[in-house]
C-alpha cells in the first residue's frame, strides 16, 4: 500500500467560553475529541490539533453567526472549508443523548455525509458593519417607542393641570415639553413625582432620537457605498437595503440561486403534494426581517409603480386575492433583489483550501 495522507473531517460544538472539537475519518470512525478555550490562542491550538490528524476536508461549525463567528473566520483565513451546521433536532437528542463530544461528532458526521452544506457568512466586510449598526439602531428605536408609550400612559393618570398643559402635542413637542418640566423636589407629592418621571422620559426620548438620527445618517452612507444599485430599485430605502444586505451577508454567492434566496427570505412556496393532489403551502420560515423588507417594497410599488398596479388589476380580475397577489410580487422582487446583490457586493471567496501554514505554525 502507498503511504497516503489521511483525509479527515472536523466538527466543532461552540460555546461562549469553550469550543469542543472532534475528528472523524472518511468512513465516519471517531478519531478523537478535545476541548479548547474560545480565545485567539485557543483557535490556533484547535487548528493545529485538527491538522495533526491529516488533510482536513472540511470543518462543520455550529453557531457560525454567534459563538462560532470568530472561529469560522480563523479557519477560513487558514484556507479551510467551513460548513455551517445546525444543532441536532430533539428527536436525535432523545435517541442519542446530549453532550459536547456528541454534538461535535454529530457536526463532523453531518459534513462528511453531505447533510450539512451551508456556507456561513464571512462577516468581515462592509455588510457586517451595516448589520452591527442596525442592531444598535433597532434598539434605540425600540427604546424610544417604549419611552413615548410610557410618557403617554403616565399622562392618563396625571393631574388635570398637567394633562391640560401637554394634551394634543405631537411626539416631538411632547418630548420637548416633558424635558422642560420643573418638579419642586417634593417627590412625596404624586403631581411632582409625575413631573419628575415625565422630565426624565422627555430627556430620554430626545437622546434616543438624536442617536437614531445619527445612526440613520451613517447607515445611509454605508448602504450607498455597499450597494448603490440596490438603493436605485423602486421601494428600496436605506433601512430596507440594510436588512437585505444583512440577510445576504458579505458573500451573497453563498446563496447558490435566486430560488434559494427566495427560500431564505420565506417567499418561496413549499411543496405540500400528496397522491393526486398537487399543491403548495405558505412558507412561514426563513428570515422574517428580510420577508418584511420585501413586503415593504411590494407595498410601495403597489401604490406608486404603474407596472405593479397593472399587474395587480390583471390578477384581481383573474380571481386572485390581494394577499396571494402580494405573495407573487414578493417572489418576483426577491428574484430582482438577488441579481442586484450579486452585482453589488464583490467579496472574494476565502474558503479555498490553499494555505494552512501560517496559523498552524503560529500555534
Q: What is the pLDDT of residue 193?
A: 93
Across 195-222, average pLDDT: 96
Lowest mean pLDDT among 158-162, 248-252, 277-281, 290-294: 277-281
Distance (Å) of CA 361 to CA 49, 74, 78, 247, 344: 12, 14, 11, 35, 37
Across 208-232, average pLDDT: 96
Q: What is the pLDDT of residue 87?
A: 79
Q: pTM, whole model, 2 decimals?
A: 0.85
Summarize pLDDT for 227-270 with one digit per residue, the tens.
999 999 999 999 999 999 999 999 998 999 999 999 999 999 88
Considering the chain, what is the average pLDDT of its residues?
90
Residue 301, helix vs strand vs coil: helix
42: left (phi over 0), alpha (psi -120 to 50) or beta: alpha
CATH tag, 7-113: 3.30.420.40
Q: Which residue has the higher pLDDT, 269 or 221?
A: 221
- Is the pLDDT assigned to residue 104 strictly greater than 60? yes
Among 64, 126, 66, 100, which Cα is nearest to 351's?
64
Q: What is the pLDDT of residue 363?
A: 36
Q: Which residue has the higher pLDDT, 363 or 111?
A: 111
238-248 and 190-226 helices, crossing angle to 10°: 70
Confidence of residue 271 (pLDDT cuts 50, 70, 90): confident
Angle value at C-alpha 185, between 174 and 152, nearest 5 degrees: 25
What are the strands, taking DSSP E only, across 206-245? none
Q: What's the rounded Cα separation, in Å, for the pair 330 and 296? A: 9
Confidence of residue 200 (pLDDT cuts 50, 70, 90): very high
What are the strands, taking DSSP E only, across the chain? 7-14, 18-24, 30-37, 55-62, 82-85, 270-271, 280-281
On whether the CB atoms of residues 71 and 17 are closer than 8 A, the answer is no
Summarize pLDDT for 49-100 with one digit per residue, the tens.
999 999 999 999 999 999 999 999 999 999 999 999 987 767 767 777 789 9
Q: What is the pLDDT of residue 5?
A: 65
Amino acid at each position: 500500500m502507498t503511504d497516503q495522507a489521511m483525509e479527515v473531517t472536523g466538527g466543532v460544538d461552540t460555546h461562549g467560553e469553550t469550543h469542543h472539537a472532534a475528528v472523524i475519518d472518511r468512513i465516519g470512525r471517531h478519531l478523537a475529541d478535545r476541548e479548547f478555550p474560545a480565545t485567539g490562542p485557543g483557535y490556533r491550538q484547535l487548528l493545529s490539533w485538527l491538522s495533526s490528524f491529516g488533510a482536513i476536508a472540511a470543518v462543520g461549525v455550529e453557531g457560525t453567526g454567534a459563538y462560532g463567528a470568530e472561529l469560522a473566520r480563523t479557519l477560513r483565513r487558514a484556507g479551510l472549508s467551513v460548513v455551517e451546521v445546525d444543532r441536532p433536532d430533539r428527536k436525535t437528542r432523545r435517541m442519542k443523548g446530549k453532550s459536547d463530544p456528541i454534538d461535535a461528532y454529530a457536526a463532523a458526521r453531518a459534513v462528511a455525509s453531505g447533510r450539512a452544506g451551508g456556507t456561513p457568512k464571512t462577516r468581515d466586510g462592509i455588510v457586517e458593519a451595516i448589520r452591527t449598526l442596525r442592531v444598535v439602531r433597532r434598539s434605540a428605536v425600540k427604546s424610544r417607542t417604549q419611552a413615548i408609550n410610557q410618557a403617554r400612559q403616565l399622562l392618563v393618570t396625571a393631574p388635570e393641570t398637567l394633562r391640560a398643559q401637554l394634551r394634543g402635542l405631537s411626539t416631538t413637542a411632547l418630548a420637548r415639553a416633558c424635558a422642560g418640566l420643573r418638579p419642586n423636589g417634593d417627590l412625596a407629592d404624586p403631581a411632582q413625582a409625575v413631573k419628575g418621571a415625565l422630565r426624565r422620559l422627555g430627556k430620554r426620548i430626545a437622546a434616543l432620537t438624536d442617536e437614531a438620527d445619527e445612526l440613520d445618517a451613517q447607515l445611509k452612507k454605508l448602504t450607498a457605498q455597499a450597494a448603490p444599485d440596490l438603493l436605485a430599485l423602486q421601494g428600496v430605502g436605506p433601512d430596507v437595503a440594510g436588512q437585505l444586505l444583512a440577510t445576504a451577508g458579505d458573500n451573497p454567492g453563498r446563496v447558490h440561486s435566486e430560488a434559494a434566496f427566495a427560500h431564505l427570505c420565506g417567499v418561496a412556496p413549499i411543496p405540500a403534494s400528496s397522491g393526486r393532489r398537487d399543491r403548495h403551502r405558505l412558507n412561514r420560515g426563513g428570515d422574517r426581517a428580510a420577508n418584511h423588507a420585501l413586503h415593504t417594497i411590494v407595498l410601495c410599488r403597489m401604490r406608486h409603480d404603474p407596472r405593479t398596479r397593472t399587474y395587480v388589476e390583471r390578477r384581481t380580475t383573474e380571481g386572485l386575492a390581494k394577499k396571494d397577489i402580494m405573495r407573487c410580487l414578493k417572489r418576483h422582487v426577491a428574484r430582482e433583489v438577488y441579481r442586484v446583490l450579486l452585482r453589488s457586493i464583490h467579496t472574494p471567496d476565502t474558503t479555498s483550501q490553499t494555505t494552512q501554514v501560517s496559523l498552524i505554525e503560529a500555534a
